[in-house]
A and B are shown apart, each in its own frame.
Chain A
Amino acid sequence: MASAAVVQRGVAPRGATVGPAVRSAGLSVLVLAVLCAVWEAYKWIGERAEIRWPFPVNERTMPHVHDMVGQLFEPSRRNGPLLIDVLLDAAAFTAKEAAVGFVLGASVGFLIAVALSQSRLLQRGFLPYIVASQTVPILAIAPMVVIWVNPKLPESFADWGAVAVISAYLTFFPVTINTLRGMQSADPRAVELMRSYAASRWEILWKLRVPASFPFLFSALKISAPAAVVGAIIGELPSSIQDGLAGAILNFNQYYVSSPPSLWATNIVAAALGIAFFAVVAIAEKLLVRRAPENVA
């Protein structure tokens, strides 16, 4: 059957997704290697040609890549644990805050979008304030969030609960805007079909608009996931939390003159955490959206 042959061809690439995944991972490694090489080349030339602009190139401004990575496996202080162990502990602490913040922000953002999708009037009234909420610098509201949230939290959330809320504050916005757009992206004829099946407003929402918004929702989640990590790190600053990455960043900032690679190493770990958050969402999208599982609609 000719038609079956067409379909077979359509299915085949899905089984072969391992190949492209390996190739794209290989490409990322290659790009990383090239970036490191450019860094080292600039440093090598800069030191010999005594480049002064935009900054003088030396061991302090541009440490060797191998020094940054090597620093991870040096003791963090005399007779102390390895730097990487300290940073991984800090990253785990920040990850906990960011994960709670991300889930909270994504849920709230999604619910706001669903509510606003039900009325043009609500949208016109509330959207400007939702946009305005993102123009307020997070550092300006963080202390207030700490004062409002922390006293009311149960023991297990004490201290870091406020950080999760700050992280959620940065997460919800892209989710709301994109989900709203996604729900409006549903084909008008699909809405007409739903009406011809005598579907209720609620059924049109859950069986059509929400599933139609999923590709948009996941684009938003991919933006929000690393933002949740940034939000958690920034949220730790005014909360005076020492156990997270913000504590490590502040600490190594102070010792930058004596040991520049330590701060760079911290940045590498923070970036890796953001990438890990992104990767989790990207994998979830692959599993949920393209293959359209039973629980989507």
Chain B
Amino acid sequence: MSSPPVAVAVSGLSKRFERGNVQALETIDLDVRPGEFVSLIGPSGCGKSTLLRIIGDLIQPSEGTVQVNGKPAHQARIDRDYGIVFQDAVLYDWRTVARNISLPLELAGVDRRRRDERVREMLELVELTGFEKHHPWQLSGGMQQRVSIARALSFSPALLLMDEPFGALDEMTRERLNNELLQIWQETGSTVVFVTHSIAESVFLSTRVVVMSARPGRIAGIVEIDLPQPRGPETRESPRFAEHITEVRRLLRKGHADEAIEGETEAPLYVAEEGL
């Protein structure tokens, strides 16, 4: 078997930030199967970004373990199993689009010809062919985020970790990129863990939505999304889509009855989550 039965296995995971004495996550258990698209949703301070960073071995848990494809998260990082996309594209201004995308390949020691080939494939995948010589500051926000996704996919990582990748974009661009991301996910067959604030986005994209509650961060419930694939604009208009949204919204309410959740936005509660 080339693909192990579990892509990500999180067990008994807790994270306590000594600075500020914040219990960010408490005993999280979560399994992600290969090829799944799992969204983490919850209010600010529920630790969803922290969980993503721990899975990616960017910060260490206080307790518990993370196994990725059957090995510890640290080994997975060294093996370049992660493609990470943040809310901001975080592109290098001094590099062209093509050289931004090829950076992970450079670091992996891939030779020039294979790199160029791969960059061309990636640009095609995110529909930016013809922009390889441009610099990031010459692109719109949506285009920059597509470059960032192309960069994360360039080295075919086993796992794509996305931290509110479309959070800074306008609603129309966001929906278009949602469609594109689903297409990319189906073409590449990669496993995705996706952090979002948007209920509609999580339902539209995911095979499963993990709803989290805050202080301390816990899993309030998991919603299986059985909307048929491939999904498109018409998916958003189906009754089943609305039902799933209601389901997720109820779980969010249940998770923290005292915190107001209105539609897709939430009360902007300041919690030292992103900064830490």
Q: Is the interface of B mostly helix, strand, loop or mixed?
A: loop
Let me know if B139 and A7 touch, CB within 8 A: yes
Produce 1/0 per residue, A195-215, CB < 8 A to B. Answer: 111110001000110010010
In the complex, how many angstroms separate the beta carbon of B184 from the nearest chain A beta carbon? 18
B215 at the A interface (CB under 8 A): no
B266 at the A interface (CB under 8 A): no
In the complex, how many angstroms separate the beta carbon of B139 from the nearest chain A beta carbon? 7
Nearest B-chain residue to A1, judged by Cβ: B130
Let me know if A292 and B90 touch, CB within 8 A: no
In the complex, what residues of A have CB within 8 A of residue B137's CB?
10
A276 at the B interface (CB under 8 A): no
B168 at the A interface (CB under 8 A): no
B131 at the A interface (CB under 8 A): yes
Stretch at the interface among B99-107, B115-123, B193-201: B99-107
Kindly state the separation between the CA atoms of A197 and B161 in the bound complex, as whole angstroms: 13
Let me know if A198 and B77 touch, CB within 8 A: yes
Stretch at the interface among A41-49, A184-192, A263-271: A184-192
In the complex, what residues of B have CB within 8 A of residue A250's CB?
none
Kindly state the separation between the CA atoms of A176 and B86 in the bound complex, as whole angstroms: 32
Let me know if A193 and B84 touch, CB within 8 A: yes
Let me know if A193 and B90 touch, CB within 8 A: yes
Let me know if A292 and B77 touch, CB within 8 A: no
Let me know if B94 and A296 touch, CB within 8 A: yes
In the complex, what residues of B have CB within 8 A of residue A275's CB?
none
Produce 1/0 per residue, B44-85, CB < 8 A to A. Answer: 000000000100111000000000000000000111101110
B17 at the A interface (CB under 8 A): no
Let me know if B95 and A7 touch, CB within 8 A: no
Let me know if A197 and B103 touch, CB within 8 A: yes
Let me know if A297 and B80 touch, CB within 8 A: no
A11 at the B interface (CB under 8 A): yes
B138 at the A interface (CB under 8 A): yes
In the complex, what residues of B have CB within 8 A of residue A3's CB?
140, 143
Let me know if B103 and A189 touch, CB within 8 A: no
Let me know if B80 and A189 touch, CB within 8 A: no
Kindly state the separation between the CA atoms of A195 and B107 in the bound complex, as whole angstroms: 11
Kindly state the separation between the CA atoms of A297 and B95 in the bound complex, as whole angstroms: 8
Let me know if A292 and B82 touch, CB within 8 A: no
A140 at the B interface (CB under 8 A): no
> With A196-B56, A197-B104, A198-B78 given, is the CB distance from A10 to B138 under 8 Å?
yes
In the complex, what residues of A have CB within 8 A of residue B79's CB?
198
Nearest A-chain residue to B135, judged by Cβ: A292
Produce 1/0 per residue, A129-167, CB < 8 A to B. Answer: 000000000000000000000000000000000000000
Let me know if A189 and B88 touch, CB within 8 A: yes
Kindly state the separation between the CA atoms of A197 and B138 in the bound complex, as whole angstroms: 25
In the complex, how many angstroms separate the beta carbon of A146 from the nearest chain B beta carbon? 41
> With A3-B143, A190-B92, A211-B92 given, is the CB distance from A195 to B77 under 8 Å?
yes
Partner of B107, one of A4, A11, A192, A203: A203
Nearest B-chain residue to A289, judged by Cβ: B94
Kindly state the separation between the CA atoms of A175 and B60 in the bound complex, as whole angstroms: 36
In the complex, what residues of A have CB within 8 A of residue B82's CB?
196
In the complex, how many angstroms separate the beta carbon of B15 from the nearest chain A beta carbon? 16
Produce 1/0 per residue, A34-54, CB < 8 A to B. Answer: 000000000000000000000
B108 at the A interface (CB under 8 A): yes
B28-46 CB contacts (< 8 Å) to partner A: none
In the complex, how many angstroms separate the beta carbon of B91 from the nearest chain A beta carbon? 9
A22 at the B interface (CB under 8 A): no
Nearest B-chain residue to A291, judged by Cβ: B135
In the complex, how many angstroms separate the beta carbon of A186 from the nearest chain B beta carbon? 10
Residues of B within 8 A of A (CB): 53, 56-58, 77-80, 82-84, 86, 88, 90, 92-96, 99, 103-104, 106-108, 130-131, 134-135, 137-140, 143, 155
List, sorted by A's number, 5 A–B pairs whose CB atoms are closer than 8 Å: A194-B107, A195-B77, A196-B56, A197-B80, A292-B96
Residues of A within 8 A of B (CB): 3-4, 6-7, 10-11, 187, 189-190, 192-199, 203, 207-208, 211, 214, 289, 292, 296-297
**Given contacts A189-B90, A195-B77, A197-B107, could you give 5 more A-B pairs where the C-beta distance is less than 8 Å?**
A196-B56, A196-B58, A198-B79, A297-B92, A297-B95
